[in-house]
Structure 1
Amino acid sequence: MDTTLHDPLIGALLDGRYRVEQRLAVGGMATVYRGTDTRLDRVVALKVMHPALAADAAFTSRFIREAKAVARLSHPNVVNVFDQGADGSCVFLAMEYVPGCTLRDVLRDRGALSVRAALDILEPVLAALGAAHRAGLVHRDVKPENVLITDAGLVKVADFGLVRTVATVAADTGGPAGATPAGTVIGSVSYLSPEQIRQQPADPRSDVYACGIVLYEMLTGRKPHSGDSPAQIVYRHLGEDVPPPSLAVPGLPRELDAVVAAATARDPGRRPYDAVELLAVLQRLRRDLDPALLDAEPPASTRPTPQYPANEATAMLPALPPDGGPPFGGPLPGGRAPGGPVPGSSAAPEHTSVLELPSDLVMPQSRAYDETAEFAGLPAPARRSRRGPVTVAVLTALVVVVGLATWLLSGALYATTPSVLGMDRPAAAARLQSAGLSASFTEAFSETVPRGQVVESDPGPGARARKDHPVTVVLSRGPERIAVPTVAGRAVDEARRRLTDAGLSPGTVSEDFSDSIPQGSVIRTDPAAGRELARETPVSLVVSKGPAPLPVPQVVGVPVDDAQAQLTDEGFTVRISPDQVFSDTVEAGSVASQDPDDRAGPGATVTLTVSKGPQVFPVPDVRGRSEADATATLRAAGFQVRALRLNPFGTPVVRNQNPGGGDQQPKGATITIVLL
């Protein structure tokens, strides 16, 4: 049943501008509609806060302030915010409408994705979040429902409704950043980071945690933490590490286990600093992985089931009590004591297991898993050989000597690469020098990292690097911008080719009049020539239809010679039609009609048709006839009749008529008859 039929907002006009047309989704904080901006005639998405939240003045004020902060964030992978307004009790945002589907739809239809597909989706998500993080914003509600995939395959991050500025995150509530309002946590329980649950400040690493959960879900087709109630899921976030994806999908690269482990570390200090750092690691991992591993299809066991979770709405949940007691006013899962492990958990809350990460994928502030706890079923270590004490002593001494030599040589030749992401050139060089390394600088364009700051390094943060080899440090040149080439006066095909060669995308083609540009050639571009745009930005072409038409002088009824002179003086070419026509209104020798008679291009030909005057017909001779007979005859011939009765007695007949019979008269002329 279509529930939108009962939605009172359908058909409403918000703020006198936005017409609500169709309900798209209902979340924990707002309802999203498709609508039309009647002022600009474009389709928009309208996010309308639930009335209960809109009635809270403090919540509404923060919602408006944070919406303005997001509106200043311009990134190709972020859903744009166009406008914010209020109409009575409706507080709403007007946003970019993105036709397509959500990542949740993809996971529900397909289950687990290939590694390449998962990275193709997560990398633009991280690019969008990285731009927000570097702008001082935290999303706080990253989940598959908020990842939109357009029909053309473009990935966009939506619903910054919980976004907070890092600088004001505590000032809004007078307390911890995770609580809004005091004593509650807003978010999607499956993706909440431990610090959000504990009402500790949420920063970019909270979004990194959610991205790690999303990556796990894309690789395995399931969420890492499940439970019969939100409370159970909350305590699994607090008390359990996210398991390696390769346990659920054998054959996944162990490097991805390391990435998921680092991103979902329960201690924020052990995660990548922000989405930019995590993106750099994933991009390096992609380059190093075998294409066969990237494109391997997940097993059939990861396909979705009919019980696959529905969309998870953003919810306002009671916060975790400070003493670690049960949230939501209920008992702890399984009746356990506060702070104890979740039943079935392989690790106590305070235990952090260790997984040896690949040497070139060690990330700053990251941790992994205990192989003995999480990788049961792997081959057991070889049993110690039962040799004599002498042999054991010799081997032990040899191991110690070799290990010591290796350690000394390693310390002399290698160093751990520190993180220099986001630093400027002098700071990065000094940071590397303090670690015993040198730097080699290059530059590359970046849409997310400001000019002059470090985009990435090779080897990356945490990796081992030889001290005699410089670390390649890539500095941002800022966003790549391309000047629109000048294509005015050129043919459309050539103009398209020049735009493509410059790195831009030919857009729509429209037409306009031009007195100087020949018909079929380009008049101008939109945006104008010289405007600097991002690569692949569409540029529209305006093509000439030739000169604009001029008003043609009206010469109907003017003598033909005078009409021809008047038109020639206005710049038109005159043609006299060889066929003349009768006209009851224009005298002979004057213009009866002209073509065209309104507007024509400069120099256009105007055809004049000359009048032969009114068409004449012979007048019937009705003398000697009765009045009735004479009148009927003349009217049948197309004439009007006027009778003069000179003898009122007897039966008079027509004695005379004027004009006389046989005369030529135009149709409709009046014939006077005299009756005696």
Structure 2
Amino acid sequence: MARNIGSRYTAHQILGRGSAGTVWLGEGPEGPVAIKLLREDLASDQELVGRFVQERTALLGLDHPHVVAVRDLVVDGNDLALVMTLVRGTDLRTRLDRERRLAPEAAVAIIADVADGLAAAHKAQIVHRDVKPENILLDMEGPLGPGGAHPALLTDFGVAKLIDTPRRTKATKIIGTPDYLAPEIVEGLPPRAAVDIYALATVLYELLAGFTPFGGGHPGAVLRRHVTETVVPLPGIPEELWQLLVQCLAKAPASRLRASELAVRLRDLLPLLAGIPPLEVDEPGPEENDQQPAAYDEQQYTPAAEEPRRRGAVPLVPGSAPDSNRDTHTSMRVPAPDELAGGPLGTARAPRAPGRPRPGSARNKAASVRKRRITLGAAAVLLCGAVAVGGWLATGGGDGGGAPQDSENSAPATP
């Protein structure tokens, strides 16, 4: 059913739903558009509306071939909407779900496009804050690039910042998707341009490997890995590409490349990647008991026991059905420093022999506890048996000089 958005736009049909709102296929004075209509509770938040208006000039001024342009911002009664250029294509998550992993040349070409878009945004002092495959669109009508990659455009600029008002997310909360959060965000520092580089490098790793470097399982465990663990190497890619990934996944924000540098370096690597097929990488197995310390709010973090382990983004709302565009602008508590302290820096989800737990994991600790319990139980049984035999001998049951007894019908004499 069509509905008017302000006085200039008409929304015709829903393209997708997310936690922040609904995306519609719409029509404006200049033709088809995509309209992101934010939730009613957001539209009724006067502080957010004020921030929305303040960001208007910056968002409208962000014009780049690899950014989905914001063409208008509408504040009309209960409607709060971003009007964007309509991209004829799909998002990168949909392609990943279909192909699981991409050939290195295509993956690097896509990420180089997005890095170009981020460079323009960062130059305009805009930080995206939620770079992930769901927010990268592939233009199916554009010319094919290296490796047959379609042009990539980054979308949803400004949405995370709009929702992250001081009243809505206090100092103990964070905004974003766990798999792609930079360590400084987990530690409660303000988001700067380097967080987008970390997230984009995480997406590149996922395109190559089929899984994120620190994702999988309990959301609290994912956050801890970003801070305490190092990334697992990927075999089969040139060393130059691997070193680039490591640099952009550095724990220290200052060690990462700027977006413009990353785009140039990635394009320089494209000739080395021509013809390399998608990698054959085994995804790390789940850690059944990879839980957080008791200090975490288990009602907020713990998924249902039967919930399957997911590739890609881990939802912050346990048991929630995935959105069609998988928006996850959900606040989450920042772990305290002692909760993040997990001993010396380790390697994220290191490979292990089939059927054997990774050393130091909760599963390994649980196995050790079970082994100790079995040992103690066996010792207790042996002790009880020894006491019983000793008592029988002491009462004459084992005295060869006593009167003969019927072994089947007689019991040892009692004193």
Give the aligned residue type for 1:224: P
Judge conservation of contact 2:10–2:26 (CA < 8 Å) in 1. Answer: yes
Q: How many residues align?
A: 309
Question: Which of 120, 126, 131 is the aligned partner of 1:137?
Answer: 126
How many angstroms does 1:162 deviate by?
3.7
1:441-466 deviations in Å (ceiling 9; x for gaps): xxxxxxxxxxxxxxxxxxxxxxxxxx
| d(CA) in 2 for partners of 1:375, 1:282 | 28
TM-score of the two chains, using structure 2 as the length reference: 0.67
Alignment partner of 1:136: what SS?
coil
Judge conservation of contact 2:15–2:25 (CA < 8 Å) in 1. Answer: yes
Which moved further from structure 2: 14-23 or 278-287? 278-287
Give the match for residue 269 of structure 2.
285
Give the match for residue 151 of structure 2.
154
Give the match for residue 236 of structure 1.
225
Which moved further from structure 2: 145-154 or 52-61? 52-61
1:419-440 deviations in Å (ceiling 9; x for gaps): xxxxxxxxxxxxxxxxxxxxxx
Alignment partner of 2:340: what SS?
coil
| d(CA) in 1 for partners of 2:89, 2:273 | 31
Correspondences of 1:168-179 after superposition (within 5 Å): 173=166
Alignment partner of 1:101: what SS?
strand
Give the match for residue 25 of structure 2.
34
Matched, 1:254 2:239: yes
Alignment partner of 2:158: what SS?
coil
Give the match for residue 345 of structure 2.
351
Matched, 1:314 2:331: no
How many angstroms does 1:133 deviate by?
1.0
Judge conservation of contact 2:104–2:273 (CA < 8 Å) in 1. Answer: no
| d(CA) in 2 for partners of 1:297, 1:182 | 42
Change (3 A) 1:21 1:46: same
Alignment partner of 2:230: what SS?
coil
| d(CA) in 2 for partners of 1:20, 1:102 | 21
| d(CA) in 2 for partners of 1:119, 1:271 | 17
Give the match for residue 89 of structure 2.
100
| d(CA) in 2 for partners of 1:162, 1:290 | 35
Give the match for residue 15 of structure 2.
24
Judge conservation of contact 1:123–1:282 (CA < 8 Å) in 2. Answer: yes
| d(CA) in 1 for partners of 2:273, 2:36 | 43
| d(CA) in 1 for partners of 2:311, 2:345 | 31
Judge conservation of contact 2:2–2:11 (CA < 8 Å) in 1. Answer: yes
TM-score of the two chains, using structure 1 as the length reference: 0.42
How many angstroms does 1:181 deviate by?
4.6
How many angstroms does 1:110 deviate by?
0.5
Give the aligned residue type for 2:329: A
Q: Which structure has the larger Rg?
A: 1
| d(CA) in 1 for partners of 2:123, 2:132 | 20
Give the aligned residue type for 1:61: G
How many angstroms does 1:234 deviate by?
1.4
Alignment partner of 1:219: what SS?
helix
Give the match for residue 128 of structure 1.
117
| d(CA) in 1 for partners of 2:194, 2:346 | 18
Judge conservation of contact 2:66–2:152 (CA < 8 Å) in 1. Answer: yes
| d(CA) in 1 for partners of 2:214, 2:281 | 21
1:150-170 deviations in Å (ceiling 9; x for gaps): 1123211111034669xxxx9
Matched, 1:275 2:289: no
Give the aligned residue type for 2:157: F
1:345-369 deviations in Å (ceiling 9; x for gaps): xxx4x6389xxxxxxxxxxxxxxx9
RCO comparison, higher one (Cα < 8 Å, 6+): 2
How many angstroms does 1:29 deviate by?
1.6
How many angstroms does 1:182 deviate by?
4.1
Give the match for residue 263 of structure 1.
248
Give the match for residue 655 of structure 1.
none
Alignment partner of 1:282: what SS?
helix
Alignment partner of 1:137: what SS?
coil
How many angstroms does 1:283 deviate by?
2.3
| d(CA) in 1 for partners of 2:310, 2:174 | 27
Change (3 A) 1:374 1:306: closer
Alignment partner of 1:116: what SS?
helix
| d(CA) in 2 for partners of 1:317, 1:299 | 35
Give the aligned residue type for 2:334: L
Correspondences of 1:440-519 after superposition (within 5 Å): none
1:9-42 deviations in Å (ceiling 9; x for gaps): x4111113211111112222222111111x33x1
Change (3 A) 1:19 1:129: same
Judge conservation of contact 1:78–1:158 (CA < 8 Å) in 2. Answer: yes
| d(CA) in 2 for partners of 1:226, 1:51 | 32
Give the aligned residue type for 2:62: L
Change (3 A) 1:276 1:291: same
Judge conservation of contact 1:188–1:312 (CA < 8 Å) in 2. Answer: no
Give the match for residue 324 of structure 1.
337
Root-mean-square deviation (Å): 3.0
Change (3 A) 1:259 1:93: same
1:563-582 deviations in Å (ceiling 9; x for gaps): xxxxxxxxxxxxxxxxxxxx
Change (3 A) 1:241 1:307: closer
Give the match for residue 4 of structure 2.
13
Give the match for residue 299 of structure 1.
280
Structure 2 stretches of 5 or more lacking a match? 142-149, 284-307, 313-321, 354-415
Correspondences of 1:652-663 after superposition (within 5 Å): none
Give the aligned residue type for 2:77: G
How many angstroms does 1:280 deviate by?
2.3
Give the match for residue 209 of structure 1.
198
Give the match for residue 392 of structure 1.
none
Structure 1 stretches of 5 or more lacking a match? 1-9, 326-337, 342-347, 354-368, 378-676
Q: Percent identity?
A: 32
| d(CA) in 2 for partners of 1:63, 1:181 | 19
Judge conservation of contact 2:27–2:33 (CA < 8 Å) in 1. Answer: yes
